[in-house]
Amino acid sequence: MSQLNAMGLNRNGFSLLLSARLYASFVRPKLEYGLAIAHLLKKNYTELNRVQDRCLRMIVGGHRASSTVVLRHICNLPSMDFRADTLVLKYCLRVSGLPDDCLLSLLTSSVPLSLLSRLRQRRIVHDCPPVASSSTSRLSSWLRRYRQERFDAFLQSTSRVLIRACRPVLRVDPVLFVPASRADRSRLVRWRMGWLPGKPRPCSCDLGQTSRSHLVVCTMVPSYLWSCLPFPPTSYVGNHIDYVLNQLPLSSSASCPPFWSALCTILWHLDRLCNPDGDYTTDPTPGQVWLDKSQSLS
Residue 202 has φ and ψ, to the nearest 5°, of -55, 130
Higher pLDDT, 2 or 20: 20
CB atoms within 10 A of CB 196: 22
pLDDT per residue as tens digits for the range 159-198: 999 999 999 999 999 999 999 999 999 999 999 999 999 9
Indicate the residue among 133, 165, 197 that finishes a domain: 165
| Stretch among 42-46, 98-102, 252-256 having the lowest mean pLDDT | 98-102
Q: Are residues 41 and 68 in the same domain?
A: yes
Q: Are residues 22 and 124 in the same domain?
A: yes
Average pLDDT over residues 200-205: 92
Average pLDDT over residues 155-160: 94
Burial of 32 (0-12, 13-18, 19+ CB in 10 A): middle
pLDDT at site 145: 97
What is the rounded distance in angstroms from the CA atom of residue 170 to the CA atom of residue 147?
Answer: 8
Average pLDDT along the chain? 92
For 63, 163, 210, the CA distances from 214, given in Å and listed in that order, are 25, 19, 6
Q: Are residues 138 and 185 in the same domain?
A: no
What is the DSSP secondary structure assignment for residue 27, as one 8-state letter?
Answer: I
Q: Are residues 182 and 207 in the same domain?
A: yes
Indicate the residue among 140, 165, 190 that finishes a domain: 165
pLDDT at site 17: 96
Q: Are residues 135 and 230 in the same domain?
A: no
Domain that holds residue 185: 174-297
Q: Are residues 80 and 180 in the same domain?
A: no
Whether 136 shows a pLDDT value over 80: the answer reads: yes
| For the chain, percent of residues with pLDDT exceeding 90 | 72
Q: Are residues 42 and 154 in the same domain?
A: yes
Indicate the residue among 147, 165, 183 that finishes a domain: 165
pLDDT per residue as tens digits for the range 273-292: 999 888 888 889 999 999 99
- Residue 209 bridge partners (DSSP): 202
Number of independent structural domains in the chain? 2
Q: Are residues 22 and 127 in the same domain?
A: yes
Q: Are residues 114 and 22 in the same domain?
A: yes
pLDDT per residue as tens digits for the range 46-68: 999 999 999 999 999 988 889 99
- 85 neighbors 49 (Cβ within 8 angstroms): no
- The pLDDT confidence band at residue 112, using thresholds 50, 70 and 90, is low
- The pLDDT confidence band at residue 90, using thresholds 50, 70 and 90, is very high
Q: Are residues 105 and 196 in the same domain?
A: no
- The pLDDT confidence band at residue 296, using thresholds 50, 70 and 90, is confident
